[in-house]
Amino acid sequence: MAKKVITLTVNGETHEQLVEDRELLIHTLRERLNLTGAHIGCETSHCGACTVDLDGRSVKSCTVFSVQADGSSVTTIEGIAASDGTLHALQEGFRIEHGLQCGYCTPGMIVRAYRLLKEIPDPTDDEIRWGISGNLCRCTGYQNIVKAVQYAASKLRVKEAAE
Ligand code: FES
Ligand code: FES
């Protein structure tokens, strides 16, 4: 089986890994780098539980070969909070607005919403629903997820205005 050394910068740390051509990014993150926040729900690109940020785009890491990500920067849920542990506004929003129940979809939801709010800082509810339409949640009915993202959007806008 062909193997290749790849370099990934994940949450600001650079890693070199020897991977098979067929290895998926979600497996490199979870099994080699021990970053188990991104979940595996379907491995067929339907559920979005494996969503990570790859060079400024949301991707389902079960649909990306690790060799395709060679040289890229990846942000996972482990890289969303501040380095001192302060929660990101999205994490706070999901907690305050009860945007999760079992939590299985939550890392993917938050990482997806992180990019969505960079693309659309003041989204409508419909834009949030469209923006997270690739991420499935079996528990919440989405209502509180939308509220959580709106909470974060509002908080981030206030923060940006103050800077
Ligand atoms: S595990 Fe990747 S989309 Fe479901
Ligand atoms: S909180 Fe359970 S799947 Fe979303």
Q: Give dist(CA 107, CA 89) in Å, integer.
A: 14
Q: How far is the CA of 15 from the centre of ligand 1 (A)?
A: 23
In ligand 1, the atom with minimum distance to the C-alpha of 62 is 2
**Sequential pLDDT tens for the chain (163 residues):** 789 999 999 999 999 999 999 999 999 999 999 999 999 999 999 999 999 999 999 999 999 999 999 999 999 999 999 999 999 999 999 999 999 999 999 999 999 999 999 999 999 999 999 999 999 999 999 999 999 999 999 999 999 899 8
Q: What pLDDT shows up at residue 74? A: 98
Q: How far is the CA of 46 from the centre of ligand 1 (A)?
A: 6
Task: Give the residue among 60, 69, 55, 156 at the shortest CA–CA distance from 105.
Answer: 60
